[in-house]
């Protein structure tokens, strides 16, 4: 692909400000094309290759990096073997478990799986994909052509239309999946072109008690002892092109693959990682940091805790009700815990002050530049949009959970919305209400049966709408006041009437309503459907306002980003775009961590920890063959000589976020040393701020994989295929 | 005291077997008199003094070590200043808080206290004591004179009588408190003579948020950040003799005091500790280890959990009942947690196998010795006594909690027992039922009001007696069967009758019954008093059997201990007696710890940890002056140079157990470097087995004390008195 170099040149020219700037050590989710710009720092960190090679998507090692199952992975053989996390391939393992066509049962989650040969490799669920990024082209001018001169909703819609057109054109090439990535918050747009491999098969999965050892208890926990990996294989048609599953398909020959390392590993060793990080907020404005830390997270924690309390108190009397709400309570508690973790982390890092001081310094620098009037006007306008959101944040938070955390009310709103959207041509319907989504909607309507109890929903609404009623008048929405009244006493009477006058508690009524047309639903005598009909125009209006705000921010934030990039350049630093599920590279080191005073986390864990954690029951139920192999102590060439035992996982300071699951971790020579699968609890706040004291990433040591394949659940043919020693 | 040397000679001669034997590194709670025997190991560990000096109770530093408030402490000035833990002196701080005679209120727990001068030092509660051990003399022959030739209960009573006589004779000297210590399980007896200082005053206490920083949450936790110390002063009459509190008293001039160190501290430094460890079981027989790990601890965990479940389920419906039982539930959960911790630790250390293998080797050695017939017969007889206990352990455990964990039933039994004991001369009554105990009994009878609910007590008894009913017939007690029936159905009817026919639920009825004579109580129509009258003979019989067994073990265990001491000598190792609240010394090092794979605990904590843990609410509510001083960073000569900050606590591998609270931790030169106040959770099982991987002790760094006195809550006059730098 000789055009790659030209494309990258375009990318570079698009970002003249970052040229030759330097990065803060070890922070950064870099676009591959940026790496030559930070070559000096990468070399200083220990990288032995040429960063220009990493910038080329068509060259090793980047052409071995794939997107798989929504996360990351890499080719590890020249016959299409893909390595990713057990949890990323979990759906594939699950799909192949249960009752078989011959009537037998198998549980590959519990037992794991080793395909003895190519014929035994098991097809993944048909929607499972391996995507290889083959093109990354700047399309900013085209995306913004129509948007220029527009504002608000019109700007948003213009970008949306142009994006859809670019994608449609790009996807005309068969076997290609395309998207448009927004870099630096609307500053630049890139067309991402990916080869879409649709025949993926399960080759090797360890038992769940290895692949998910520690389960939820150890989630976000270091020290970790999980063998979170699975091997898949990508297949193509005999013509070498992407194809749906067919027994006649042949193994895909990737342009390159990563070689698993056979070297040892120690604290301080260079490491780098390539994958598809999801979303970060590092370059948000200081006021957004303050809003997040001072209001969004604490109020979410308080609100979710209140919801948990209300549900648990109301459900306490009735075991069946408790069971119905167990999922919702667990999910609220998880969100609460995560919000609390993020809050704790941002406070620990003093994020509000750090970001504010940085922004203040940036503005001081900006004031020294020429021609900044337009820039400053745009930033001020962006701030005004954000301020409008802050003024309504109490309302937006509460209305959000009033709809999303109820069962019957949500069903009623969803039914009215579906009827409303059905009046449009399918392509113009809102996402989630298109024809292809209707199965999902009916599934949700069915699920209500197992998740609803009238007393709980009324108690929850009494609490949530009660909080909404206590908001200042400026945040009130007439339609909500009409449906729920304006005082707690009115609310109680309204809720009694709403829930005694509805039949939506019955599944057949809900499913029947899904078939009704808009007029019938609008005129329904059902009290909740009536309420939803009243609320719908308000919800659509709020949605429209939100899109208008987003359009304005898309238009205005680039001024802020350009100022930031310019200021960083003046500091000698480059700026990576916030993560957006595109291919990124980060580099750093194998790193210990001091999580708190008096405690040091060592950077490598060993099989001793598996034995220590083993309780014999989930999630610490190490399989007997594993325990026996550990007791035997036969670790061969995969042992770490300095520890005289087998390592399991290791810790680096690499910059990651959700989506980096399955990212290949490479050494200074590009050899594969680890597979990223989690980060530590202290790093939950890293989506907003990278704090080098606490940000770590957790990887499976490839020597643990090699040992499992050599000695515990042997797959000598796969070791041979990966050109690895037999033991 | 020139006689001390002679006394110690006697001690040494009493233990010829341990002469010149060597100890396993760092394990051991040594009698001071044993230290010369392990001089080589102490020197090897880094001790710079002469162990013979430590063996002399009348010489520094041992004559500076005191027993205070039931735990340990040390003189730290030549004017009677005593350093102990904040939690050991907590009663003194509490006694001086609350409403004052002038009508004002003060809260020294919250605020701490600094006596500006001698006149401002506040008297402790009148029963608070500082005890200085002045004599330690072997009295084995006298204690066992009458016991020789006796067995069982008679042996027990003979030892008890001789002990009381020795104590009475010794205490004829005014200001003296005496006791007889049983060493090596009845092998040797020592008369301990202590100077009893009765006028103790509060000099300096940090606020509770320093002295108990971390509270229950951090109990048993490392890393720790607690300033758990308080300074008291001992006073005597103008004649220099112990006296009750009087404003005319003068500061006691101790024969010696410890000098607080001004040196730095690092991992690996020699450390030793002197104090009064309570009880250990290290030299129990292998079968007792097995019983503890395989039955006592797991069945206690299961039983207590079941009791918690029953109480919580029954109390769930009624908030008032929940409050009544909150204390009992908390106490059961604490005991359960501790039992589980001990069990986990003993399993982790493989204690049953380790002890059994050791004992097997000991028996093999014993078989090679001459004249071991009598020894082996005694050991076999001791084992038979233990086996009898094991055969009845289910019964004993259940009857124990049936009486101790109920409120009304326990009251009824207690009332019948008191009436029974009152028929004897006061001196012959059982402990707990003498005249001096009656206030305590009536207090308990009053307390029932706030801790009882009929439904809960009946549910608890249904569970506990139900479990008892399911025991094999051989473990049944006729009187219990008569009172509760033999089947669950009978039990239910009996419980209904027992609790509907009693008036003991009323406080005035209980207190009136306390005044009734034995005949009246025996003939009472009250159903629970009747039941207790039926049960009492059984309880007395079981108590008598238990004393007889204890007498037999007292007679027989010395054979086992002599065999163990002989075997250890053959291994070149000395044997310390299990802890029994007498003065002991242990030595070791400032030590990091690897609690589990991938985690290292550093041996020193710093003020940074106080800030990290601070939440602004109990138990992590660091006082503002402390936070301000930390932020200021002005640590002067008290900072640890290698860490460039102020240390707080440190960790050693010293051998400790409950009672070692407040023990002085000294360096290689006998200077005071720390104050022991806790051990780590992993060491809970150390009362049975010392596992060098996990056994650690937690101390306040004296540099933290110096910094607090110099910079945070200043007391320059006390620093001067302790001859310490002003900052």
> Each residue of B66-98: pLDDT tens digit?
999 889 999 999 999 999 999 999 999 999 998
Matching residue, tokens 């005053």: B201
Looking at beta carbons, which residues of chain A come within 8 Å of B605? 597-598
Among chain B residues, CA nearest to A605 = B598
Minimum-distance CB partner of A597 among B597, B598, B608: B608
> Phi and psi for B503 in degrees, rounded to 5?
-105, 5
Residues of B in contact with A224 (CB under 8 A): 598
To the nearest whole Å, the CA of A275 is away from the closest chain B CA by 26
Mean of all residue pLDDT scores within chain B: 93
CB contact under 8 A, B596 and A222: no
Decide if B598 and A612 are in contact by the 8 Å CB cutoff. Answer: no
A chain contacts of residue B596, beta-carbon cutoff 8 Å: 223, 609, 612
Tell me: do A509 and A610 sit in the same domain: no
Q: What is the Cα–Cα distance from A207 to B477, expressed in whole angstroms?
A: 53
Q: Is residue A511 part of a domain?
A: yes
Rg (CA), chain B: 27
pLDDT tens sequence across B545-559: 999 999 999 999 999
Tell the residue number behind the tokens 């990996």, with chain if given: A229
Q: Which residues are bridge partners to B199 per DSSP?
A: B235
Catalytic residue among A188, A199, A209, A228: A228
- The region of weakest confidence among A159-168, A440-449, A639-648, A697-706 is A440-449
Per the domain annotation, does B339 fall within a domain? yes
ω into A61 cis (within 30 of 0) = yes
Shortest Cα distance, chain B CAs vs residue A423, angstroms: 53
Domain end (from B21, B38, B59): B59
CA distance A559 to A374: 8
Q: How far is CA B315 from CA A317, B300, B308, in A?
A: 14, 22, 10
Confidence at residue B551, expressed as pLDDT on a 0 to 100 scale: 96
So what's the pLDDT on residue A436?
83
| C-beta atoms of A223 and B598 within 8 A | yes
Do residues B204 and B291 both lie within one domain? Answer: no
Same structural domain, A544 and A609: no
List phi, psi (to 5°) of A155.
Answer: -65, -45
Residue A581 bears catalytic tag = no
CA B52 remoteness from chain centre: 28
Residue A521 counted as domain residue: yes
pLDDT at A551: 96
Q: Which of B426, B445, B449 is nearest to B514 (CA)?
A: B445
CATH of the domain at A633: 2.40.10
Q: List strand residue ranges (DSSP E) for B495-563, in order.
A: none
Which chain B residues contact residue A602 at CB under 8 A?
598-600
Task: Check if the beta carbon of residue A23 is closer than 8 Å to that of residue A565.
Answer: no
Tell me the chain B residues in contact with residue A604 when contact means C-beta distances shorter than 8 Å.
598
Pair A201, A121: CB distance under 8 Å: yes
| pLDDT at position B59 over 60 | yes
User: Can you tell me whether residue B491 is helix, strand or coil?
Assistant: helix
Catalytic one among B209, B228, B378, B667?
A: B228
Q: A632 pLDDT band (50/70/90 cuts)?
A: very high
Segment 325-364 of chain A within 8 Å of chain B by CB: 348
- How many Å lie between the alpha carbon of B630 and the closest alpha carbon of chain A? 14
Residue B570 lies in a domain: no
Mean pLDDT score of chain A, rounded to an integer? 93
The answer on pLDDT for A483 being more than 80 is yes
Region of A670 on the Ramachandran plot (φ > 0 left; ψ -120 to 50 alpha; else beta): left
- Rounded Cα gap, residues A513 and A510, in angstroms: 5
Give A-chain residues touching B322 at CB under 8 angstroms. none
Question: Does residue B669 share a domain with residue B603?
Answer: yes
**B611: closest chain A residue by CA:** A597
Give the other-Cβ count within 10 Å of A97's Cβ.
Answer: 17
- The CA distance from B295 to B290, in Å, is 8
- Structural domain includes residue A418: yes
Whether residue A609 is found in the same domain as residue A535: no
Q: What is the pLDDT of residue A16?
A: 29
In a domain, B271, yes or no: no
Under 8 Å CB pairs connecting chains A and B tally to 54
> B341 and B220 in one domain?
no
The DSSP secondary structure of A610-658, one letter per residue, reads HHHH--SSTTS---HHHHHHHHHT--GGGEETTTTEEEEEEEE-----T
Contact B223 A598 (CB under 8 A): yes
CB atoms within 10 A of CB B497: 12
Best residue in B592, B598, B610, B645 for a mutation probing chain A (most A CBs within 10 Å): B598
| Domains in chain B, number | 4
Residues B79 and B217 occupy one common structural domain: yes
The string of pLDDT tens digits covering residues A340-365 is 999 999 998 999 999 999 999 999 99
Percent with pLDDT over 70 in chain A: 97
C-alpha to C-alpha distance for A274 and A64, rounded to whole angstroms: 10
Alpha carbon distance A725, A263 (integer Å): 12
Other C-beta atoms closer than 10 Å to the C-beta of A301 total 18
Q: Are residues B662 and B699 in the same domain?
A: yes
* Chain A residues in contact with B218 (beta carbon < 8 A): none
Measured between beta carbons, the chain A residues lying within 8 angstroms of B597 are 223, 225, 605-606, 608-609, 612
Cα gap A481→A469, rounded to integer Å: 8
Residue A600: which of B225, B602, B604 has the nearest Cβ? B602
Q: Is B605's CB within 8 Å of A612's CB?
A: no
pLDDT score at B244: 96
Q: What is the nearest CA distance from A349 to chain B, expressed in angstroms?
A: 11
Q: Is A87 a catalytic residue?
A: yes
> What string of H, E and C letters represents the secondary structure of A508-544?
HHHHHHHHCCHHHHHCCCCHHHHHHHHHHHHHHHHHH
Which pairs count as long-range contacts for A310-319, CB under 8 Å and 24+ apart, including other chains? A310/A456, A310/A459, A310/A460, A310/A463, A311/A456, A311/A459, A311/A460, A313/A459, A314/A453, A314/A455, A314/A456, A314/A459, A314/A460, A315/A453, A315/A456, A318/A453
Residues A551 and A606 in one domain: no
Q: Output the CA–CA distances (angstroms, integers) from residue B367 to B191, B376, B573, B574, in the order listed.
A: 34, 9, 19, 20
Burial readout A461-496 (b: 16 or more C-beta within 10 A, e: otherwise): bbbbbebbbeeeeeeebebbbebbbeeeeebeebbe
Which string of b and e fits A714-724 if b means at least 16 CB within 10 Å? ebebbbebbeb
A510, A417: one domain: yes
Give yes or no: B661 in active site. yes
A197, A229, A253 - which closes a domain: A197
* Residue A368: DSSP 8-state: T
Supply angle C-alpha B201, B202, B204, rounded to 5: 145
| Same domain, residue pair A519 and A644 | no
* Res B463 pLDDT > 60: yes
Is the confidence at residue B23, as pLDDT, over 80? Answer: no
Contact B612 A596 (CB under 8 A): yes
* 8 Å CB contact of B225 and A597: yes
d(CA A684, CA A706): 30
Q: What is the pLDDT of residue B20?
A: 30
Residues 523-552 of A with CB under 8 A from B: none
Give, to the nearest 10 degrees, the angle between helix B408-422 and helix B393-404: 90
Q: Is B263 part of a structural domain of the chain?
A: no
Rounded-to-integer distance, Cα A283 and Cα A40, Å: 24
Taking a contact as any Cβ pair under 8 Å apart, which residues of chain B between 601 and 620 contact chain A? 601-602, 604-606, 608-609, 612-613
Chain B residue with CA closest to A597: the answer is B609
List B residues 221-260 in contact with A (Cβ-Cβ < 8 A): 222-225
Residue A22: pLDDT above 70? Answer: no
The token pair at B408 is 């009304």
Query: What average pLDDT does this structure show over A579-604?
Result: 96
Computed on alpha carbons and rounded to an integer, the radius of gyration of chain A in Å comes to: 27
Q: pLDDT tens for residues B140-165?
A: 999 999 999 999 999 999 999 999 99
User: Which pLDDT score, from 0 to 100, does residue B25 have?
Assistant: 54
How many angstroms separate the CA of residue A612 from the nearest CA in chain B?
Answer: 7
pLDDT tens digits, A659-680: 999 999 999 999 999 999 999 9
> What is residue A118's DSSP assignment?
G
Closest of A470, A458, A456 to residue A497, by C-alpha = A458
pLDDT band at A316 (very low <50, low <70, confident <90, very high): confident
Q: Tell which residue, A647, A641, A651, A626, has the closest CA to residue A704.
A: A647
Q: Would you say residue B18 has pLDDT above 80?
A: no
Q: Is B622 helix (H, G, I), strand (E, B) or coil?
A: coil
Beta bridge partners of B181: B190
Does B212 share its domain with B102?
Answer: yes
Domain of residue B247: give its range: 64-258
Looking at residues B717-722, what average pLDDT do you find?
Answer: 98
- Whether B280 is covered by a domain: the verdict is no
pLDDT above 50 for B435? yes
ipTM score for this prediction? 0.83
Length of chain A in residues, anyone? 727
d(CA A364, CA A371): 14
Q: Do A597 and B223 lie within an 8 Å CB cutoff?
A: yes
Contacts of A222 in chain B (CB under 8 A): 598
Q: How confident is the model at residue A108 (pLDDT cuts 50, 70, 90)?
A: very high
A599 touches chain B (CB under 8 A): yes
**A213-242: pLDDT as tens digits:** 999 899 999 999 999 999 999 999 999 999
Last residue of a domain, one of B241, B258, B275: B258
Structure tokens belonging to residue B32: 């001071």
Which member of A600, A605, A608 has the closest CB to residue B600?
A: A600
């Amino acid at each position: 692909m000789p055009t790659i170099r030209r494309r990258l040149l375009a990318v570079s020219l698009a970002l003249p400000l970052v040229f030759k700037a330097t990065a803060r050590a070890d922070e950064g989710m870099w676009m591959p094309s940026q790496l030559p710009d930070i070559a000096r720092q990468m070399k200083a960190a220990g990288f032995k290759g040429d960063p220009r090679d990493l910038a080329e998507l068509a060259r090793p090692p980047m052409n071995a990096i794939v997107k798989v199952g929504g996360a990351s992975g890499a080719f590890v053989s020249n016959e299409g073997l893909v390595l990713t996390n057990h949890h990323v391939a979990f759906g594939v393992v699950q799909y192949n478990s249960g009752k078989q066509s011959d009537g037998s049962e198998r549980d590959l989650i519990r037992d794991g799986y080793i395909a003895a040969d190519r014929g035994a490799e098991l097809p993944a669920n048909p929607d499972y994909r391996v995507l290889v990024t083959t093109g990354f082209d700047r399309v900013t001018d085209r995306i913004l052509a129509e948007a220029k001169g527009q504002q608000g909703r019109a700007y948003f819609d213009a970008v949306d239309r142009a994006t859809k057109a670019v994608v449609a054109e790009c996807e005309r090439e068969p076997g290609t999946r395309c998207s448009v990535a927004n870099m630096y918050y609307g500053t630049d747009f890139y067309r991402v072109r990916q080869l879409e491999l649709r025949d993926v098969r399960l080759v090797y999965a360890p038992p769940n008690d290895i692949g998910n050892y520690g389960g939820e208890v150890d989630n976000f926990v270091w020290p970790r002892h999980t063998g979170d990996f699975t091997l898949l294989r990508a297949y193509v048609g005999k013509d070498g092109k992407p194809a749906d599953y067919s027994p006649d398909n042949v193994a895909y020959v990737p342009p390159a693959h990563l070689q698993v390392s056979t070297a040892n590993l120690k604290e301080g060793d260079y490491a780098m990682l390539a994958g598809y990080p999801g979303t970060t907020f590092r370059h948000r404005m200081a006021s957004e940091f303050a809003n997040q830390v001072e209001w969004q997270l604490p109020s979410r924690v308080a609100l979710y805790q209140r919801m948990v309390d209300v549900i648990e108190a109301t459900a306490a009397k009735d075991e069946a009700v408790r069971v119905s709400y167990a999922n919702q309570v667990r999910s609220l508690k998880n969100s609460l815990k995560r919000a609390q973790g993020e809050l704790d982390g941002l406070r620990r890092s003093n994020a509000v002050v750090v970001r504010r001081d940085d922004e203040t310094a940036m503005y001081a620098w900006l004031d020294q530049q020429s021609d900044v009037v337009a820039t400053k006007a745009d930033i001020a306008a962006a701030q005004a949009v954000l301020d409008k959101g802050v003024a309504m944040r109490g309302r937006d938070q509460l209305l959000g959970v009033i709809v999303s955390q109820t069962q019957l009310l949500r069903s009623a709103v969803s039914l009215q919305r579906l009827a409303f959207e059905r009046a449009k041509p399918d392509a113009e319907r809102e996402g989630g209400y298109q024809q292809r989504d209707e199965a999902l909607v009916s599934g949700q309507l069915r699920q209500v049966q197992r998740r609803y109890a009238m007393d709980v929903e009324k108690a929850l609404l009494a609490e949530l709408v009660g909080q909404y009623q206590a908001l200042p008048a400026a945040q009130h929405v007439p339609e909500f006041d009409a449906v729920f009244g304006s005082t707690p006493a009115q609310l109680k009477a309204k809720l009694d009437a709403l829930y005694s006058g509805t039949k939506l508690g019955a599944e057949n009524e809900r499913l029947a309503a899904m078939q009704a047309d808009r007029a019938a639903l609008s005129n329904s005598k059902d009290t909740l459907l009536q309420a939803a009909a009243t609320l719908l125009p308000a919800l659509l209006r709020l949605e429209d306002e939100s899109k208008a705000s987003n359009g304005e921010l898309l238009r205005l934030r680039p001024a802020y980003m350009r100022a930031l990039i310019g200021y960083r350049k003046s500091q000698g630093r480059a700026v990576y775009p916030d993560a957006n599920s595109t291919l990124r590279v980060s580099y750093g080191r194998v790193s210990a961590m001091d999580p708190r005073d008096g405690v040091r986390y060592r950077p490598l864990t060993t099989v001793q920890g598996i034995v220590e954690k083993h309780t014999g029951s989930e999630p610490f139920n190490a399989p007997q063959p594993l325990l026996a192999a550990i007791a035997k102590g036969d670790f061969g060439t995969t042992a770490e000589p300095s520890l005289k035992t087998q390592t399991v996982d290791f810790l680096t300071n690499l910059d990651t976020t959700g989506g980096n699951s399955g990212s290949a971790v490479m050494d200074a020579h590009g050899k594969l040393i680890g597979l990223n699968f989690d980060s530590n609890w202290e790093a939950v706040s890293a989506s907003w701020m990278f704090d080098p004291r606490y940000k770590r990433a957790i990887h499976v040591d490839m020597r643990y994989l090699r040992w499992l394949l050599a000695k515990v659940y042997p797959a000598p043919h796969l070791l041979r295929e990966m050109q690895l020693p037999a033991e």
